[in-house]
Amino acid sequence: MKFFLDTANLDEIREAAALGLIDGVTTNPSLVAKEGGVDFKQHVAAICEIVAGDVSAEVTSLDLEGMLREGREYASVAKNVVVKCPLTMDGLKATRQLTSEGIRVNVTLCFSAAQAILAAKAGAAYISPFLGRLDDTGQNGLELLADIVEIYRNYEWKTEVLAASIRSPVHVIEAARIGADVATMPFKVMEQLIKHPLTDKGLEQFLADWRKGGR
């Protein structure tokens, strides 16, 4: 399972990269906006210098022409840029076109298995079901993830299943159990994966005992 960091914050990306734990980065317009008035393409280029793996850059146009223009522009920033298109009619058309030009696309904002089937048929490199946001509506994001993984395996579709909108370590563990290809998570969740109170307590005890031994 690959780990992507779901952020546009360069400090977080540098820290996670230094840990050696991340295989890529996903950004979205809200995450980029949090970084202040950065130049988007320069910012994506800066991320791509830190991370060798796939870096998702999302289009903000709603129409096909705009998505194609942005997609081509972002893809020219670095080889590891993956263009993110929304799961709309034009988003699927853009996915098919960009894919045919050799530009990889991450289809985002997926909330149903039907949508995921369409993304795979459009040739997406990644499909991003949003677990947390679906949970927020009273539906089960992990059930959706399991459905998509099962369907994709039936046909050996190459589109990778990228579990997104991850809110907790449980989402990561369950996504791994289900067999998602990738989990993209906020830096906070990555930290939560590392930490365990019994590790801290055990370490404290070991060191206290060590000192008692006169060292």
Contacting residues toward ligand E4P, per CB under 6 A: 6, 26, 28, 108, 128, 130, 132-133, 164-165, 184
- Written as six digits, the tokens of 166 are 């991850």
104 with 54: CB under 8 angstroms? yes
Termini Cα distance of the chain = 42
Q: Which residues contact 122 (CB under 8 A, 6 or more apart)?
A: 92, 93, 95, 96, 99, 105, 107
Least distance (Å) from ligand E4P to the CB of residue 132?
5
Select 159 or 165, whichever has its Cβ closest to ligand E4P: 165
Whole-angstrom distance, CA of residue 145 vs CA of residue 178: 8
Catalytic residue among 2, 41, 79, 84: 84
Whole-angstrom distance, CA of residue 25 vs CA of residue 100: 23
Select 28 or 159, whichever has its Cβ closest to ligand E4P: 28
- The DSSP secondary structure of 152-187, one letter per residue, reads HHHHT--PEEEEBS--SHHHHHHHHHHT-SEEEE-H
Select 184 or 215, whichever has its Cβ closest to ligand E4P: 184
| DSSP-derived 3-state class of residue 64 | helix
Least distance (Å) from ligand E4P to the CB of residue 3?
13
Check if 2 is active-site.
Answer: no
- Written as six digits, the tokens of 101 are 């030009």
Select 26 or 159, whichever has its Cβ closest to ligand E4P: 26
Least distance (Å) from ligand E4P to the CB of residue 130?
6
- Written as six digits, the tokens of 172 are 């990561």
Select 33 or 62, whichever has its Cβ closest to ligand E4P: 33
| DSSP-derived 3-state class of residue 140 | coil
Least distance (Å) from ligand E4P to the CB of residue 56?
6
Least distance (Å) from ligand E4P to the CB of residue 54?
11
Positions marked catalytic: 84
